Structure 1
Amino acid sequence: MNKLARVLFVLLAGVALLSSCKDGKSYADLLKEEDKAVKAFFADKIVINEIPADSVFISLQDVPNNDTLAVPYYKLDTDGNVYMQVLEPGDLNDRFEKGNDVNLRFLRYDLKALVNGSNPDPVGNTNPSDYITIRFGETTLSSTTQYGTGIQYPMYFLGNECRVNLLIRAKAGFTAETSTVMPYLYFIRYNKSK
């Protein structure tokens, strides 16, 4: 490598390193911000740190007056990257099986903006003809894995046509967004593909 090429390489590496930290924040700082946002979101919510032994979750239909604040969020993984609030458990006689193609319609909100008092616009695909299809239990197919592991958790416990709110931290979120350390609150409907 000649001298000019070395200098250019060092300069490009420096630019890449500086631009990799959002607003000059380190990855550790972004993780702290994410943790702070998650804690703030759960401050006025009921959180249950384990999956019910019988896998029967309290849902919106189980509480008086459809009060979503009375429906708990359940921690679904040991690291606390995914929390689920069940709105409708779906058809528990028609469970998801690994290998099923499942259509998802969702809206997601930037959790940091939400807890900071701004009213973020949701992003997603709620139109009836606009959905994504993933293969439940798939760990290698990029059309599924690009959405992260967190989005699949409800299918292990609920039935076809279930609806949930999911809080997903960046580690379990969209793979392309892992480095942004952005937690999201999702509203998701799951339907088996016909």
Structure 2
Amino acid sequence: MKKLLLLFFILLAVGFSFQACDDTKTYAEMLEEEDDAIADFINKEGIKVISQTEFFDNDSVTDVEKNEFVQLSSGVYMQIVDKGSDNPADTVKNNDLVLVRFMEYSLLDKDTTLSNLTLPYLVDEFKYTASSSSIAGIFIQGLMYMAYGYTAVPAGWLVPLPYVRDKAHVRLIVPSKMGHQSAMQYVYPYYYDITKYQIYK
């Protein structure tokens, strides 16, 4: 009996030691860490967050001089640096091919993770598809596909398209749920400077 009790206590102690060594974060903790990283970035960069109502009242533009970003219902923060073409017809449409120049910055690692801005021979290209109920983008080629191995364009990249035209320049803070698959899996928020959305003609 004493041996059984001793064995039980040893197993209990081993179980507690494994539990004490478990540094795995819960999903709720990762979401909290993500929220803190986004808030910290907004604070450090002196970003003025405006509401969607203010954004629409201001003809769907953001004041770059005031470093305004609009927080959209998707959770994405967007700054339109340049709306692009003056021609209202130059919008991205179903089945268009879109070329993208961008820089990706990890808000948790506080470091640039990807950029094709200095690689003139390498541009990211995706096919845009739109229906009455959804929009999507599929990478054809580029750095994002090469780095992450996913063809799905981050949903956050598609958010600005209804508000801009050919050759637009936007900046985005993209929470993990609107990011690429790796961002969603590891709950990583990213900042993007997309210097050009160009419709390939």
- Same fold? TM cut 0.5: yes
Q: Which residue of 1 aligns with 2:47?
A: 45
1:177 maps to: 183
Q: What secondary structure sits across from 1:176 in the alignment?
A: helix
Tell me which protein shows more strand as a share of its residues. 2
Matched, 1:121 2:106: no
Q: Which residue of 2 aligns with 1:151?
A: 157
Structure 1 outlier segments of 4+, above 6 Å: none
8 A contact 2:127–2:138 mirrored in 1: no
Q: Does residue 153 of structure 2 align to residue 161 of structure 1?
A: no
Please report how far the alpha carbon of residue 100 of structure 1 lies from its aligned counterpart in structure 2 after TM superposition.
Answer: 1.4
The verdict on how the C-alpha distance between 1:134 and 1:59 changes in structure 2, with shifts beyond 3 A counting, is farther
Alpha carbons of 1:121 and 1:71: their partners in 2 closer, same or farther (altered >3 Å)? closer
Counterpart residue type for residue 125 of structure 2: T
Give the TM-score, by structure 1 length.
0.72
What is the root-mean-square deviation in Å for CA atoms of aligned residues? 2.4
**Structure 1 residue 141 displacement after superposition:** 6.4
- Consecutive unaligned residues of structure 2, counting only runs of 5 or more, are 1-21, 141-150
**Number of the residue aligned with 1:3:** none
Letter in 2 for 1:130: L
Give 1 or 2: higher helix fraction. 1
Determine which of 121, 125, 128 is the counterpart of 1:136.
128
Deviations 1:108-155 (A, max 9, x none): 1111233xxxxx234122222211211224556653762221101111
Unaligned runs of 5+ in 1: 1-21, 64-69, 115-119
CA positional deviation for 1:27: 1.2
2:120 maps to amino acid: P
Task: Give % identity.
Answer: 27
Over alpha carbons, which structure has the higher Rg?
2
User: Which of 99, 109, 126 is equivalent to 1:103?
Assistant: 99
